[in-house]
Structure 1
C-alpha cells in the first residue's frame, strides 16, 4: 500500500482548504448580494428608473459581486481539480479512469496535468 503524504505537505489538501474557504466567502458575498437585490426590487417597485437605481447603487454592484464570486470559484475550483487529478495520477490511476471519475475525457485530464506540470512554481 502506498503511504499517504501528511496533510501539511499534501497540495491536494491545501487545495481543498483553499476551495472550502472560497466557498464560505462566496456564500457570504452572495447572501449580501441577495439582500441588495431585494432592496433594488423595492426601489423599482416604488417607481424609480433603472438608471437611477444603478447610478445610485453602492459598489460593488450586484453584477460585479456575482462576477467576482464566479471568477474566484472558477480559479480555486480549477486548482482543486488539477491537484485532485495529480493526486490520483500519483496513485497510478490512469488518465482514462480519472476522466471517468471527473466526467470528462482523458484528453481533458491530460491537459489539466500538463498545465500543472509546466507551471513555473513546479521548477520545470
Structure 2
C-alpha cells in the first residue's frame, strides 16, 4: 500500500514498460522462485543458477544476472521473458515497495485506492 499526497492509499498497475528492468541493482530470487522460473524456462535448476544467477552484492543470496547493457538479462525486446513467474520483488513493485523518485522513472498507472484486506 502506497500513501500519496493527501494520505490516501493508492494502488498501481504495471504497464510492462520495462523501465524497472533497466535499473541497476539486485533482482533477488529465492529458492522457490528459482524452482518455478527454471521449470518455466524448461531448464535444470542448477543450470539456471549457473547461467542466469549471481551472488548478490550483500553475499546473502542469489540475484538474476544483468545483461551487458545493465538491464535484467530476462528483459527482451518483447518484455519480460519470465513475466508469468517473475520474482516476488518484481511483482511487488511499486505497491509493496518503492523508493524516492520512482514515479519519475516508472510508468505504472494509478488504478485507484488500495482496499483493506
Q: Is the structural similarity TM-score above 0.5?
A: no
Structure number with bigger Rg: 1
Report the TM-score, using the length of structure 1 for normalisation. 0.24
Q: Which has the higher helix share?
A: 1
Report the TM-score, using the length of structure 2 for normalisation. 0.25
The structure with higher relative contact order (CA 8 Å, sep 6+) is 2
